[in-house]
Amino acid sequence: MSTWLVAIVSNCARMQLRRRPRQIHVSLDEQFGDEEGYSLSERLVDCAPNPEEEYREAELRERLMQFAEELRHVAPSIPVRDLDGLETSETAQILE
């Protein structure tokens, strides 16, 4: 019984695969749509930062925050704009 059932299911799956439309292959170097000068590969480019760039930015941000904390210990009367969350105009008023 199981052999017969497996044969029916596999034949149904093959029939479904035959019925679906064929995949169209497109070259990535081919021009895309009505826009001139743009290929499909240029439209698919991901402009988001990669993990290496994200790590570099996070490390730089962490170092800047450490230096800002050190500066705060050296001169506590000077507001550190990013740490205090102040606007530029507020910081200018405090520093006169």
26-36: pLDDT as tens digits? 778 877 766 67
- Per residue in 11-50, pLDDT (tens digit) is 999 999 888 887 777 778 877 766 677 777 777 778 888 9
44 Cβ contact partners less than 8 Å away, ≥ 6 residues apart: 28
Q: Where are the domains of the chain?
A: 24-95
Each residue of 66-94: pLDDT tens digit?
A: 887 887 777 666 666 665 677 778 777 77
Residue 86: is it exposed, middle or buried by C-beta count within 10 angstroms (0-12/13-18/19+)? middle
